[in-house]
Amino acid sequence: MRTDALLSILLEFHRDKLALRQRHVAVARHVFGYDANNTYQYVINREDVHLQWLEAAIAELEGTPEHVAEPPVPRLVRNEKFTGLTVKDAEDLAAFVAKWRPRLDDVTHARHRSLMNVIIGEMLEQKRSFDQVAEGREDVLGRRANGPGSPGTGNGVLGVRWIE
């Protein structure tokens, strides 16, 4: 595979992955349930790692990744269900995998193909987590010893989630 073709694929993969990450950040601002929000935080943190890997690969090929803005998400009131947003996020992850898995055969650079395979594998796990959140499961990332609402968790997440 020529360097310019590899760079083009990595840039497109990165752009698509970053768009999903930005959507997850936007949705997480509206997910008030403690367990559901923690799931989003976990997914976003893994996505940040994936993007760092991709950005290093792109820089190695002397490319510059595109910026993708955070998309607007409908504002929800505190007691409104966010499950529609989570279902959409699970569907978007499945669509990403469906688009990119067959294209990995075109990537002849073994390290970059392996990197992209790892990312796709983790995205399938993220989809499973979002599916569980949409079902209303409270044990997506594990169970708390004293159950939901136990000391330290309150009845939701803090109003400010990121310190920038």
Give pLDDT tens digits for 111-127: 999 999 999 999 999 99
CATH of the domain at 81: 1.20.1260.10
Structural domain contains residue 145? no
Cβ-count burial of 76 within 10 angstroms (0-12 exposed, 13-18 middle, 19+ buried)? middle
State the residue range of the domain holding 84.
3-65+73-134
Tell me 102's DSSP state: G
Give the number of domains in the chain.
1
* Helix, strand, coil share (%) of the chain residues, nearest 5: 60, 0, 40
Tell which residue, 140, 103, 142, has the closest CA to residue 120: 103
Pick the range with the lowest mean pLDDT from 4-13, 74-83, 115-124, 128-137.
Answer: 74-83
Tokens 């929800």 appear where? 76
Residue 159 pLDDT > 60: no
Structural domain contains residue 60? yes
pLDDT of residue 83: 82
pLDDT, one tens digit per residue, over 4-57 is: 999 999 999 999 999 999 999 999 988 877 788 889 999 999 999 999 999 999
Q: How far is CA 72 from CA 9, 22, 26, 75, 140, in A?
A: 27, 10, 7, 9, 26
- CA–CA separation, 147 and 111 (whole Å): 43
User: Do residues 29 and 73 make contact, with C-beta atoms less than 8 angstroms apart?
Assistant: yes
Structural domain contains residue 39? yes
Q: Is 49 helix (H, G, I), strand (E, B) or coil?
A: helix
- Stated pTM of the model: 0.82
Residue 164 pLDDT > 50: no
Structural domain contains residue 93? yes
pLDDT of residue 163: 45
pLDDT, one tens digit per residue, over 100-111 is: 999 999 999 999
Residue with more model confidence, 145 or 69 = 69
With cut-offs at 50, 70 and 90, classify the pLDDT of residue 155: low
Average pLDDT, the chain: 85
- CA–CA separation, 151 and 164 (whole Å): 27
Structural domain contains residue 142? no
